[in-house]
Structures are given as structure tokens and as C-alpha cells.
Chains A and B, each alone.
Chain A
Amino acid sequence: MITDALVIGAGTAGLTAGIRLAHGGLRVAVVATGEGCLPLASGTIDVLGFAPDPVQSPLDALPGFLHANPEHPYRISGLAGLEQSLAWFVKTAEPLGYAGELTRNRWVPTVLGGLRPTALVPRSMAAADLGGGGKVLIAGIRGFRDFHPALLAANLGLASATPAPAIQARAIELDWPGSAGDMPAFRLARRLEDPEIRRRLADQLRSKLGDATAVGLPAVLGREKAAEVHADLEHRLGRPVFEIPGLPPSLPGLRLFDCLRRALLDAGGRLLLGSTVISATHHHDTVDSVTITRASRPVEVSAGFFVLATGGFATGGILRQPDGQLREPVFGLPVHGLAPGQEPFGDEYLAEHPLDRVGLSTDAQGRPLGAAGGPHAVNLYAAGAVLAGAVPWREKSGEGLSLSTGWHAAEAILGRRREDAA
């Protein structure tokens, strides 16, 4: 197989790079071992939430944050690149109706009732911003094990992003038409695409709305027909409805995956899921090809450019061996961030651990460094959580850094192509 660019990894960073390259006129293939990490994600676009104090405006906080964290992956695209990538994303994911601005974080409820800062939210969470207080009704579905409205509402009543007007949250539980039994989020989402089910839930809800100005529900409001499910519920209840994302697999994350996959395919890209890269061949300072598994058979893929977007430890992009050695399994790149002999973990689970920031170091263009210190190859870029220097879950920067570095890798490759053509 021959392609202009091969992207390894189908999370936010990989899909962003793939779509952007395909839009730029390249033949692109995105290859991933599994289904990408988006089913784990909440579906919001976090840019910077804690630095480590709560961040109100990512735009204002980022210069100081980058100064304090000079190795952070945001340095690769810079602020301007981040803004461009977000604008590009909003346009690309247009069917999901993402909205927000870098000048003001939104504070959306977690499924436990805390408030989490994020920059962009999909339409289904547009009304979830409780940073300014509000009166909300939190409605659960009896028997749904991943959503417990009483604790959510009780915590929400105490949560506060900044000194902000209080949140008044009330909890109710709805009876699922028929037995909810052991209903995972997936199945609830599929059933909610049936208007009759929605009507019966809305009927239960309507009498209990009271003075609530918005209604929060578990993030199970449909998959393919999510826009219709959401609009219909808002129409029936006569007020805004928002989703509260919870444990994986997450519907908002899956919808984003569906949306970006469609964008990639529409742009002429290929998506090869269930394929793992098992080896790579080099020629001098260039990666020539990689061998992937395709239906359990090895297939060689030659490409002019490669983007490594395999993520961190959580997705297998970086491995730790029993002897403590850290390894990047695709190209064998050196993993940075932990001194030899340094303890990788501390005692306090919720504190930062030395292992948290490890990953690949890159040159200014986003090309991962090899053992000799310079770029491992002139045509290899890295993007997303495989990069060293960030603690995405703690600082709430995961999607921002995946979008900006994925977008930047694509821009760098497109720029090189233009140079070559000229």
C-alpha cells in the first residue's frame, strides 16, 4: 500500500491530522489498533482548566502557563496555532454544534456533581455551563448504574467555580418505560431515539420541572439521531436540556468519533481500524514504510510522511516494562521525562506523579527526537498525548493539546509539500 501520509492513532490528534491532511489534498490513511480513545472522552474540548489554580480565561492564562511550563506541547503550535486549530475544529465538527471561546471557560457538571472547566462544548451541553449559578433539575433514570442524581445534585449545590452565584440543584429519578434493568448507556441511547420513549420520559419530567431553568440528564441522548433527540426533549419540556457525561463508553465521545470519522472519509481519507503497526523501515534520515497487521497479515505501507498519534500509557502509545524501562513501541523512540532510577509514582494518588509528564520530546516543528538528540526522521511528526510535558487530566488540556499538535503536524507537512512543489 502506498499513501502520501500515514497517521498512526485514531484519537483526537490522529483524526485531526488525518482530516486536515486530506483537506490539503494528500492521500491519507489513519491506522489504529482499536477504535481510538474518543469513547473514553467526555466530548468536551478542554484547553486549560487548572494552572494549577482555576482558569477563567485560557487565552489570558496561557502565556504565563507556557512560561512556567516551557516543555508543554502547547509550545509547538503556539497560541495562534491553538486558536486556528479550535476554529478549524468547530467548522469540521459542525454537525455537533460545538460552541465556546478561549476567553471564558465554561464550568460544566461532572457526573459526581463537581464543576469542570472546559473551553468548547457540543450543542447537547450548551446549557450545562453553571459557572454563573442557576436553578437546575437533575433527572436520573432509575436503575441506570452510572448516574446517581441525588449525590450529583447535593455536590452541585456546594460546587462553585469561583465566588459565583449558588447553584440550586434538585434531583429526581425517572422510571424507564419498561424495566431499565441492567441498561448500559449504549442501549439507553439507542432506545431514546424512539420518539415514544422520549414522550413517556418527558411526560414524567414535565410535572416536576418546578422553577428549574434547565434540565440535566445522563449523556445518553441518542447516537446517530442525537440532534433530533436533544431538540425534541427541549421542545417537549419547554426549556434547555443538557447532558452530563460520565463513565466510558461515553456517548458524547462516540458521537465526536463518528463525526470526525465521517469528515475523514468525506475528505477522501482512509481509516484502517484493527490494525497495529508492528515495524518500521528507515532509509538514512527518512522513514520509508511501516508494516501493519491487516486481517492478521502483515501489510507494508509506504508513505512520504508519518504522524505518530498513539497517545500515552492509557492507550498503549508508551509502554513501561517490568524492569521499569520506558518504550515507544512503533519507532522505538526515546521516552523523556523520568531520570534514571527516579521513582515513577508518589504516595498520594491524586497528586502529580513523576511518570505523569513522560513522553516524546520534539523539535520546534513537532518532530520527535531520536537517540542522537536531533529529529529521529525528517518526515516523522508526533501529536497528542504521546508528547512529553503535559498532565492533561489534571490541567484539563487534553483535547486542546491534541487538536493543536495534530493540526500543527498536518500544517507542517502541507507546508513541506508546498515547498517541494515550488
Chain B
Amino acid sequence: MTEALECQLLVIGGGSTGAGVAWDAALRGFQVILADRGDLATGTTGRFHGLLHSGGRYAVRDTSSARECARENEILRRVATESIEDTGGLFVSTPQDDPEYADRFLAGCGEAGIAVEEISPGEALRREPRLNPKVRRVFSVADGSIDSWKLVWGCARGAEQLGARILPYHPVTALLREGDRVVGGRLRDLRSGGDVEVRAECVINAAGAWSGQIAKMAGCEVGVRPGKGVMVAINHRLANCVVNRCNMPGDGDIVVPSHSVSVIGTTDTPVEDPDDIEPTAEEVAKMMTAGDILFPGFSQARALRVWSGARPLLPKSAVGSGDDRAVTRSHTVLRHAERDGVAGLVSIAGGKLTTYRLMAKDTVDAACAELGVERTCTTAETPLPGSTGRNYYRLADHQADFEKGRADNPIICECELVSQADVLEAARRHPKGQIDDLRRVLRIGMGPCQGGFCAFRTAALLHGHGEYDRAEANATLRAFVQERWKGQRQVLWGQQLRQARLDAWIFQGVLDIEHLPT
């Protein structure tokens, strides 16, 4: 059975770009449907290091990206406060870094309009005592830590409140063409198994690293080149601000505090398939060793998890601006009407999370041109729903909220302080959500025990409240345990291996989920 839907804009891709487009377009009064093949923010957006760029990283070699980051950083600090922890950031010149880069860095920041202040190594060590004591020069910038799941769900909720429909777990199976026009898309509803046919005035391809695959469905090309980046989470905060090496961007040279953990990143390896990005043991070892340069002893720290994301890089040659092989971190909006003679399709590629709002603005501007209307973007002035009248997120806020309702509210996840009420509320907002979907909004299973205790509690609790039937509860528990295993096995040594064996004791010994009825 095929369900038929209609809208003005069909947005493909529920990462930060697609959700940003949905929010932007809904604010401009468009009727929007957003579809993603999985849950929101499960592609590149949910698999990054959590860094809100000040622009410093691009100050020397990519001034236009740096300038965009600096401006967007300032805007997001007004409209997305719920998702941002104002950690600040440091660029530190270690003995392994080119000493001359520091001056070029300062000059580049000046050119790009990045606020920067040089502080003494002594002051830096006072702020971050674990920092390499041999740092020679230190620059303080407005880097921050940003929760991409909160950001994306903020955009999605905001768009929904304005009438948009958000369809996670709806992969696109075909684009609908009538002559030289794309007039919509066919989706598969993975939960019901049915098909959904969406007629749209304009289709927006915001599939990031997968945008080439989507464009192909309309016989068009987007020359996106996925770039694999590996990240490792350490079980606590090694620093309370973002720490970057002051050098040409390289592997493992950023450490970002994210909630209760630290994330080190990253690498950049071209890959053919954005779904084939499993981190290797060598990459993990490289991250751990690189961490020692910023934080001596890093390689002995307790790593919780490793993952990788696929950047949607767009070589300049792919945009048709000559033979330049350099890859920019800026974004490009492609109107296929102009490029391939196929109307009704706009693709966006390149870019990065920090500039997602600008990317969305440029994309919706292009869609407006496609539809022949003029409507002004207001996302720079309109706070996201969760960020209205609110200060930045602080690590301690969650603890404070949690303590308020403590007495009558059992704790489900001790590592990340998630209560029974939190789980039930998240399940209400994400009907039929798997435990892994709830994880991204609640952080259950993301702490040191990686779900050893909370996975069973969550499955059984939600079964008791009618969210799952018996078979679904067993299946989502098994699937969650397997999903958590995926990013753990490359970092199992020392205390974290011990923790994993305790989890195995629970899952295999105490709960014996292997022999549970299906």
C-alpha cells in the first residue's frame, strides 16, 4: 500500500544540514517534509567530535571557511544555547609544532575576524593543569562544545511546531521525475514496511556524504568525496576547554570536552563508500599516541569508545571551478536546473556542523529561486525551541535537574544520570524508538559501562509501559548490546576491558540474553 503525501519542499537527509533546512524553510512559511533513512543525526552529524569551531582551525589555510565559522559561531551562541557548552578553546604550540605557525595563525585570525588572545603558558596551565607543560605559546579562542543531537532535534521540533513532518527511518528509494523535473520522492517506511510517495515542488538533497547517491537517482551528479575521520572518547574530562594544536591541521590534534567525556579527533582518509568507515586498530593507536603530545599520559587513559564519521567533502573540481584539487571546507549549493538541466532539485554538499545554519540558509535561498519566490531567512534571529530565553548548557545543569526529582524517580542509567521519568518522556516523544534512538537524546549507555546496567532496565521498563511488546523488548535489547559492542572492541584494554567483562557477566551470565526467547 502506498501512502501519498504532498509538500512544497521534500528534504532528504536528517543531519544538521537537513534539519537546519527544515527549520529554516518552515520559518519562511514553506510546507516541509524531511526524510532520513535512519534516525535523525545518525550519519556524519552524530559521528563527529562535538566541536563548535571558532574558525581558528582554518585560520591559516582556508580563510573563507574560517570567516564563516567565526560568524556562525557568534550566531549559534544566540540561537542554539541549549546545545552549546561555552567551554572556550585553546590553540597550543607544543615542541612538536612548527614555531612559525603561531605567527601565521595570529595573522590568519586577524584576517578572518576571529577573536583571539595570546595567554602565557603559565596561565594556560593554570586553566588546564593536565596540558603539556612544555607548550611554548597559547592562544585563547571562542571554541565550544556542541551537542549535535540536541541541535538537530531542536531544529526538527521547531520545524514540526510550524507544521513540518519529520520522517525518520524513511529511506528514499526513488526520485520522481516528470520530464526535466524532479517532482518528489518515493520513501520506504522501515517500521511499517509500506511505501510513501511524496509530491514536492522542490526536492532538497541534504544527504551529505550520501548526496552523490541521492543525486544519481535523478540522473545527476554530486561529486562528493567522503572523508573518513576517526574519534576516540576518553572516560572523563581531561580538560574543560577545547584544546587544539597550533599547527597545520593534522591527525589527532583536537581534544573536545563533551558532556562527561573527552573526545580526541581526528583523521582524514578518502573513502569510496561513506558506510564503509570502520575504525582500524592502527587509527586508534594513532589517536592515543597523538593525544600524548597535548596531554602527557593520554595514551594510558581509559578509552570508552571509538567511532568514525564521513565528511561530505567536495573537491573544487567537482563544483566546476577549474582543476584545483584542493578540498575546501566551505559548502556549495548546486541547482541542478542550471547544472544538469533537471529542475526541482537542489543539492548541498561540503561544509561542516558549525556552519550548518548558513548552509541551510543558502540552500533554502536556492530553493526559493527554484520556486520563483522571495522569502527572507530568519534563523539568525530566531532561537531554536529549546534555546528560548536560556543560557548555555553547563555540565552541572543536568546534575541539578536530576537531583530535583530524585526521591520518587528511580535512576535508570547511573553513568549519565538518566531517570525513569526521562526515559518515559523520551519514549513518548519517539514512539517505537529503539533503545539506540533513545540513547541519542538521553545519553543512556554512553558512559563507562556502555549499557551494562541501563539497557536491560530500559527495555523492561518500556515493555512494562506498553511501548514495546515482548518480542520488541528482547530484540531492541539484543540490538543495543550489539550496537554498543561495535565501537568498543577496538579500545578494550585495562580498566575498560574489565568493565566490558563485567557487562559480559551480566548479559551472558546473569541475564543470559543469548538464550532468551525471540
List the interface of chain A (C-beta within 8 A of B).
Answer: 40, 42, 50, 110-116, 143-146, 148-152, 154-155, 158-159, 179-183, 245-248, 250, 312-316, 319-322, 324, 344-345, 348-350, 392-394, 396, 398
A148-B461 contact, Cβ under 8 Å, with A116-B512, A322-B300, A398-B509: yes
Residues from chain A with a CB closer than 8 A to the CB of B269 are none
B460 at the interface (CB under 8 A from A): yes
Residues from chain A with a CB closer than 8 A to the CB of B406 are 182
Q: Enumerate 7 A-B pairs (CB-CB under 8 Å) in ascending A order.
A: A112-B513, A143-B420, A150-B463, A151-B473, A154-B470, A182-B408, A322-B494
A393-B511 contact, Cβ under 8 Å, with A181-B410, A320-B493: no
- Expressed in whole angstroms, the Cα–Cα distance for A319 and B302 within the complex equals 13
B481 at the interface (CB under 8 A from A): yes
Residues from chain B with a CB closer than 8 A to the CB of A324 are 493
Taking a contact as CB atoms closer than 8 A, the residue among A113, A149, A159, A182 that contacts B410 in the complex is A182
- Expressed in whole angstroms, the Cα–Cα distance for A143 and B470 within the complex equals 20
Task: Name the residue of chain B whose CB is nearest to the CB of A344.
Answer: B492
B407 at the interface (CB under 8 A from A): yes
* Bitwise interface map of B from 470 to 493 toward A, beta carbon under 8 Å scored 1, else 0: 100110001001100100010011
- Expressed in whole angstroms, the Cα–Cα distance for A344 and B490 within the complex equals 10
Task: Name the residue of chain B whose CB is nearest to the CB of A143.
Answer: B410
A111-B517 contact, Cβ under 8 Å, with A151-B473, A313-B497, A316-B498: no
Q: Are B457 and A146 in contact (CB under 8 A)?
A: yes
Additional A-B contacts beyond A40-B505, A150-B460 (15; CB < 8 A): A50-B515, A110-B512, A112-B474, A112-B512, A113-B516, A114-B511, A114-B517, A151-B459, A151-B463, A151-B470, A155-B474, A182-B411, A183-B410, A245-B510, A350-B482
Taking a contact as CB atoms closer than 8 A, the residue among A145, A246, A320, A344 that contacts B494 in the complex is A320
Residue from the set A154, A250, A344, A392 with the largest chain B CB neighbour count within 10 Å: A154
Q: Are A155 and B420 in contact (CB under 8 A)?
A: no
Residues from chain B with a CB closer than 8 A to the CB of A148 are 457, 460-461, 463-464
A145-B410 contact, Cβ under 8 Å, with A151-B459, A320-B494, A348-B482: yes
Residues from chain A with a CB closer than 8 A to the CB of B492 are 320, 344-345
Taking a contact as CB atoms closer than 8 A, the residue among B497, B504, B506, B512 that contacts A247 in the complex is B506
- Expressed in whole angstroms, the Cα–Cα distance for A313 and B508 within the complex equals 15
Name the distance in Å between A116's Cβ and chain B's nearest Cβ.
Answer: 5
B412 at the interface (CB under 8 A from A): yes
Q: Are B501 and A314 in contact (CB under 8 A)?
A: yes
Name the distance in Å between A319's Cβ and chain B's nearest Cβ.
Answer: 7
Residues from chain B with a CB closer than 8 A to the CB of A151 are 459-460, 463-464, 470, 473
A312-B501 contact, Cβ under 8 Å, with A145-B411, A145-B412, A350-B513: yes
Q: Are B517 and A247 in contact (CB under 8 A)?
A: no
Q: Are B481 and A349 in contact (CB under 8 A)?
A: yes
Name the distance in Å between B469's Cβ and chain A's nearest Cβ.
Answer: 8
Q: Are A321 and B505 in contact (CB under 8 A)?
A: no
Name the distance in Å between A399's Cβ and chain B's nearest Cβ.
Answer: 11
Q: Are A322 and B288 in contact (CB under 8 A)?
A: yes
Residue from the set B409, B420, B460, B498 with the largest chain A CB neighbour count within 10 Å: B460
Q: Are B510 and A247 in contact (CB under 8 A)?
A: yes
B338 at the interface (CB under 8 A from A): no
- For the residues of B in contact with A, the DSSP-based class is helix
A319-B410 contact, Cβ under 8 Å, with A116-B512, A159-B517, A247-B506: no
Q: Are A393 and B464 in contact (CB under 8 A)?
A: no
Name the distance in Å between B491's Cβ and chain A's nearest Cβ.
Answer: 9
B514 at the interface (CB under 8 A from A): yes
Residues from chain A with a CB closer than 8 A to the CB of B497 are 313, 319-320
Task: Name the residue of chain B whose CB is nearest to the CB of A146.
Answer: B457
- Expressed in whole angstroms, the Cα–Cα distance for A394 and B508 within the complex equals 6
- Expressed in whole angstroms, the Cα–Cα distance for A112 and B460 within the complex equals 8
- Expressed in whole angstroms, the Cα–Cα distance for A116 and B509 within the complex equals 9
Taking a contact as CB atoms closer than 8 A, the residue among A112, A116, A180, A245 that contacts B456 in the complex is A112
Q: Give the size category of B's interface with A.
A: 35 or more
Name the distance in Å between B280's Cβ and chain A's nearest Cβ.
Answer: 12
Q: Are A42 and B457 in contact (CB under 8 A)?
A: no
Name the distance in Å between A329's Cβ and chain B's nearest Cβ.
Answer: 11
Q: Are A322 and B493 in contact (CB under 8 A)?
A: yes
- Expressed in whole angstroms, the Cα–Cα distance for A26 and B460 within the complex equals 49
Task: Name the residue of chain A whose CB is nearest to the CB of B514.
Answer: A350
Q: Are A322 and B498 in contact (CB under 8 A)?
A: no
Residue from the set B407, B412, B492 with the largest chain A CB neighbour count within 10 Å: B492
- Expressed in whole angstroms, the Cα–Cα distance for A348 and B478 within the complex equals 11
Residue from the set A112, A155, A314, A321 with the largest chain B CB neighbour count within 10 Å: A112
Taking a contact as CB atoms closer than 8 A, the residue among A246, A315, A320 that contacts B510 in the complex is A246
- Expressed in whole angstroms, the Cα–Cα distance for A50 and B514 within the complex equals 11
- Expressed in whole angstroms, the Cα–Cα distance for A10 and B460 within the complex equals 33
B107 at the interface (CB under 8 A from A): no
Q: Are A321 and B493 in contact (CB under 8 A)?
A: yes
A145-B461 contact, Cβ under 8 Å, with A42-B510, A111-B511, A248-B506: yes
B119 at the interface (CB under 8 A from A): no
Residues from chain A with a CB closer than 8 A to the CB of B408 are 143, 179, 181-182
A181-B505 contact, Cβ under 8 Å, with A148-B464, A151-B463: no
Task: Name the residue of chain A whose CB is nearest to the CB of B473.
Answer: A151
Residues from chain A with a CB closer than 8 A to the CB of B502 are 40, 248, 314
Residues from chain A with a CB closer than 8 A to the CB of B516 are 110, 112-114, 155, 159
Residues from chain A with a CB closer than 8 A to the CB of B260 are none
Name the distance in Å between A384's Cβ and chain B's nearest Cβ.
Answer: 14
Residues from chain A with a CB closer than 8 A to the CB of B420 are 143, 145
- Expressed in whole angstroms, the Cα–Cα distance for A84 and B506 within the complex equals 29
Task: Name the residue of chain A whose CB is nearest to the CB of B300.
Answer: A322
Task: Name the residue of chain B whose CB is nearest to the CB of A321.
Answer: B493
Taking a contact as CB atoms closer than 8 A, the residue among A114, A182, A183 that contacts B512 in the complex is A114
Residues from chain B with a CB closer than 8 A to the CB of A150 are 460, 463-464
* Bitwise interface map of B from 394 to 418 toward A, beta carbon under 8 Å scored 1, else 0: 0000000000001111111000000
B382 at the interface (CB under 8 A from A): no
Chain B residues 108 to 138 lying within 8 A of chain A, measured CB to CB, are: none
Taking a contact as CB atoms closer than 8 A, the residue among A152, A181, A312, A396 that contacts B407 in the complex is A181
B299 at the interface (CB under 8 A from A): yes
Name the distance in Å between B408's Cβ and chain A's nearest Cβ.
Answer: 5
- Expressed in whole angstroms, the Cα–Cα distance for A316 and B510 within the complex equals 20
Name the distance in Å between B288's Cβ and chain A's nearest Cβ.
Answer: 7
Name the distance in Å between B16's Cβ and chain A's nearest Cβ.
Answer: 30
Taking a contact as CB atoms closer than 8 A, the residue among B410, B489, B501, B507 that contacts A144 in the complex is B410
B392 at the interface (CB under 8 A from A): no
- Expressed in whole angstroms, the Cα–Cα distance for A105 and B18 within the complex equals 57
Name the distance in Å between B425's Cβ and chain A's nearest Cβ.
Answer: 16
B295 at the interface (CB under 8 A from A): no
Residues from chain B with a CB closer than 8 A to the CB of A152 are 460
- Expressed in whole angstroms, the Cα–Cα distance for A31 and B427 within the complex equals 47
- Expressed in whole angstroms, the Cα–Cα distance for A42 and B38 within the complex equals 38
Residues from chain B with a CB closer than 8 A to the CB of A113 are 516-517
- Expressed in whole angstroms, the Cα–Cα distance for A345 and B482 within the complex equals 13
Name the distance in Å between B517's Cβ and chain A's nearest Cβ.
Answer: 4
Name the distance in Å between B472's Cβ and chain A's nearest Cβ.
Answer: 10
- Expressed in whole angstroms, the Cα–Cα distance for A112 and B517 within the complex equals 10
B169 at the interface (CB under 8 A from A): no
Residues from chain A with a CB closer than 8 A to the CB of B498 are 313-316
Task: Name the residue of chain A whose CB is nearest to the CB of B515.
Answer: A114
Q: Are A349 and B482 in contact (CB under 8 A)?
A: yes
- Expressed in whole angstroms, the Cα–Cα distance for A307 and B503 within the complex equals 27
- Expressed in whole angstroms, the Cα–Cα distance for A158 and B285 within the complex equals 46
Name the distance in Å between B136's Cβ and chain A's nearest Cβ.
Answer: 28
Residues from chain B with a CB closer than 8 A to the CB of A144 are 410
Name the distance in Å between A20's Cβ and chain B's nearest Cβ.
Answer: 25
* Bitwise interface map of B from 291 to 316 toward A, beta carbon under 8 Å scored 1, else 0: 00000000110000000000000000
Task: Name the residue of chain A whose CB is nearest to the CB of B406.
Answer: A182
Chain B residues 429 to 473 lying within 8 A of chain A, measured CB to CB, are: 453, 456-457, 459-461, 463-464, 470, 473
Task: Name the residue of chain A whose CB is nearest to the CB of B299.
Answer: A322
- Expressed in whole angstroms, the Cα–Cα distance for A143 and B406 within the complex equals 12
Residues from chain B with a CB closer than 8 A to the CB of A246 are 510
